[in-house]
Structure 1
């Protein structure tokens, strides 16, 4: 069977993604079929490891020049049914992306903002100093590990020191248990988060908004911290798309890299422009920028 015979319109209401063909191995997942725009899809995007490659330091990620325009154009085509759902604080996302007018949830869902100029709604209590102080002391005493302070969580990155994972995770679990908090064991990072700070809850909150009503949700993410969101969209009739190497996951599709994510999203915009009536195109980035969605700044 030729490859193109396997393509399913992801958002065609007459089809079901549940019937899509999987990879040749039961241990792998196929690439997602093309996203059809406009449609009744709702698209939720992780940031690090999904829209940008992970860097040794969170502030050193490289944002592709066309990425902000790509995100906004997708949001327009989806009539506002697009949101970024990231472990980063909203302040950090704003600094990296600039004034992108889409919905966002930061701090693993602890911060909720329905649009660019809207008030930020906290979905969790602030992280107490009785958690922050011991984590900070551990980081200082073990090679000055990178500490990332967020409004409702605290992350300690141990890149370059993998032997620190076990003691750091043990400390985080003890602190979380004592304070009714949770622990995120991510890619070279351990984070203690307050209740309400999970991406599944953020997706559910967005889906309760009128503009998301009746849509089918899809979440794209790379880390184990995205599994809550994969499970949430699956429960609502949607599906998750894993980015990066195959692992145990609740996602149903897989894209190999950040570059493949950019290409998949850019193709959706190009297909939408090609299908649009004469004079109706123009919501996506110009042809030159769309083709550069995976490039890095010079």
Structure 2
């Protein structure tokens, strides 16, 4: 008999010694049939602004979305953020842009769109340097889209597959010769003011967030799994975005 997934306790309160890092989809925002259909509640915008002020700016988004998309979602508030799973990062004048997409990615995108068109609800999301194949609204497309991504990978040297919740991405494995994931992005923030010297706190829901959990655990931080219980490096848990809103709202 397989061992049961351990039940994790809720996270401790966020205090003034913390640096807070937050995933977006599935953590701050409920999933929608397509990435463009998510909505940002007004109370969440206010809580993020208040926490940003309270923690002297030590609050950052760490997301699979691009920085441009994150800015649109939270406009007019602009926060420190890492996008595309760490391929791009911004904090004041610090950070880096995502690498330029190879020419072959445009052809792969066109072919992926043909595959998705056979499955109403399947979506091909162009992220610039990365390409995401979504089947949340078309679960029957899962096998064909994943097979397509696996077959396309050899045509994109330096790329790797990034699985997620009802999505598979083709994305660069590294950036400027360094690791490009959410853990590396969090550690880069932790080397800079106002994050430096604080206790890192990271909340995320997906397997793409596991690198972030490992990074904050290594710094004696607080790792929070959001959503259904599963095997994870996280030490704490919250049931979903509504619980995350209550947690950060109580501290804001």
TM-score exceeds 0.5: yes
Q: How many residues align?
A: 240
- Which of 130, 142, 161 is the matching residue for 2:104? 130
Q: Residue 132 of structure 1 contacts residue 154 of structure 1 at CA under 8 Å; is this kept in 2?
A: no
Report the Cα offset of residue 177 of structure 1: 4.9
How many Å separate the matches in 2 of 1:125 and 1:46? 21
Q: Residue 71 of structure 2 contacts residue 78 of structure 2 at CA under 8 Å; is this kept in 1?
A: no
What secondary structure sits across from 2:143 in the alignment? helix
What secondary structure sits across from 2:30 in the alignment? coil
How many Å separate the matches in 2 of 1:267 and 1:119? 31
Q: Residue 30 of structure 1 contacts residue 254 of structure 1 at CA under 8 Å; is this kept in 2?
A: yes
Is 2:208 aligned against 1:225? yes
Cα RMSD for the two superposed structures: 2.0
Distance change (3 Å), C-alpha of 1:210 and 1:96 = closer
How many Å separate the matches in 2 of 1:219 and 1:136? 36
Is 2:69 aligned against 1:92? yes
- 1:247-258 superposed matches below 5 A: 247-258=230-241
Partner of 1:277: none
Q: Deviations over 1:199-246 (max 9, x none)?
A: 112111111113222111111011111111111111222131011100
Structure 1 unmatched ranges of 5 or more = 1-24, 270-298
- 1:207-226 superposed matches below 5 A: 207-226=190-209
TM-score normalized by the length of structure 2? 0.87
Q: Deviations over 1:177-218 (max 9, x none)?
A: 551212111111111111244211211111111322211111
**Which structure features the higher share of strand residues?**
2
Is 2:126 aligned against 1:143? no
- 1:1-298 superposed matches below 5 A: 27-36=6-15, 38=16, 40-115=17-92, 118=93, 121-122=96-97, 124-141=98-115, 142-143=118-119, 145-177=122-154, 179-194=157-172, 195-196=174-175, 197-269=180-252
How many Å separate the matches in 2 of 1:48 and 1:92? 12
How many Å separate the matches in 1 of 2:24 and 2:5? 28
Q: Residue 112 of structure 2 contacts residue 124 of structure 2 at CA under 8 Å; is this kept in 1?
A: no
TM-score normalized by the length of structure 1? 0.75
How many Å separate the matches in 1 of 2:11 and 2:193? 27
